[in-house]
Amino acid sequence: MLIEDEVHGVIELPRHIQEIVKHPLFQRLKHVHQLGLIPWSLNRTANHKRYDHCLGAYKSAKDHLRAIERNSHYEPKLPDWCRQAVEIAALLHDIGHGPMSHAWELLCHHSFDHEENALACVDLIFNDALDQELVSLRDDGSGRGVQLIKALILGCSDSLSFPMMGHTYIFDIVHNRRCGLDVDKWDYLRRDNKRLQILSAVEMDFDDVFLQARISADGQRIEYRYQDYHRIYRLFEARSRLHVAAYQNPLTCAADVIFTKAVQRLAPELLNIRSKDPDWLKLTDELVLNIIEADPISRYIKEPQRIVEVSSDDCSGSNVIRVQRSIPGPWEAMKSEEAFAFFGNKRKKRPVNPCLNPTIINKCYKLE
């Protein structure tokens, strides 16, 4: 099976991956917008779906894993079942997202966690498995394959009932809690910017961070080249700029507030639905938008030109929304240099001009 993808070109799916992609839980992602309400509030062309990103993360995981193996010649070789677990974890890492993606978590006041919700999806998909590769991941070694997939999605090996035996580095691929460099970011930054057209090709030049990395000598982590240090900063700078210009743009935040009010008034029962519930498959962006159409406030989602910025002096009244945000700069998002492991010639490390200050947003909007 071949998938045409706007970021990766053609993605080839082996038979066991095809079975996952054809599962109703994965097909549901075709009806969940990657960028939530941004296609309505900011940019109609940014209407790509979680389905696209998950396939892209799968391809990115394959590319990253192949690259680090080529660059390091690490022994012992990664067992096939672990390789499959990495690829499937990347494919399924966002399968638990609710309608409008992260907007749903904000609406639920973070009582809903898309990663925890994804774990139940993993179990449901593997319970239905027919392909022998998937059955083996589910049944062999007391279900070690499925256990590893879920641990990789969470980015935490603590839940494993078995040691990784020199392959702990794979926990830096899908959800890298150590330093934040993972294939999730690698795909969504490229994919989102391709639609949003905010950053130039030079500002998006960080592929070598992943393609030139290697496995550490002890197999505990992934190491990055000193000469790619500036590209690592560039990646976090790109992420920060997309947050300011799109993900947490004041108009996006205002639309999230409107969406939240409408759902809480008209359909609060939807907030309790999880992936294990039969109604989960129906819980899509279209369903929720159709329900909240009965609330007059919802018209501002489809008519964002009626959300008008006003001065802070006029920021009062039931038809006014105040947006306050503090968006960390790239240097803060990088945590610290100590979070990264480097190799190569340290003299090739290029200096960066770090942005130390957060971006502060304080705006008021009137619904006219």
Three-state DSSP at 28 gives helix
- What mean pLDDT comes out for the span 317-341? 90
CATH superfamily of 2-367: Hypothetical protein af1432 (1.10.3210.10)
pLDDT at 110: 79
Which pLDDT belongs to residue 247? 98
pLDDT at 313 over 90: no
Q: What is the pLDDT of residues 224-256, one digit of tens each?
A: 999 999 999 999 999 999 999 999 999 999 999
Rounded CA gap, 355 and 353, in Å? 7
3-state secondary structure of 76: coil
Orientation of helix 183-196 relative to helix 50-72, angle to 10°: 130
What is the DSSP code string of 252-302?
A: HHHHHHHHHHHHHHH-GGGGG--TTSGGGGG--HHHHHHHHTTSGGGHHHH
Do 350 and 230 touch, CB atoms closer than 8 A? yes
Q: How does pLDDT run across 261-280, given as a tens digit for each residue?
A: 999 999 999 999 999 999 99
Q: Are 92 and 118 in contact (CB under 8 A)?
A: yes
Tokens 């990088």, residue?
334
Asked if 285 and 259 count as a contact pair (C-beta separation under 8 A), the reply is no
Q: What is residue 109's predicted lDDT score, i.e. its pLDDT? A: 85
For residue 361, the cross-strand partners are 325
Tell me what the pLDDT averaged over the chain comes to.
Answer: 96
* pTM score: 0.96
pLDDT tens-digit series, residues 64-106? 999 999 999 899 999 999 999 999 999 999 999 999 999 999 9
Q: What is the mean pLDDT of residues 18-43?
A: 98
Lowest mean pLDDT among 145-159, 236-250, 330-344: 330-344
Given a contact cutoff of 8 angstroms between Cβ atoms, the answer to whether 206 and 290 are in contact is no
Report whether pLDDT(146) > 90. yes
Q: Which helix (H) or strand (E) holds 193?
A: helix 183-196
- Say if residue 138's pLDDT is above 80: yes
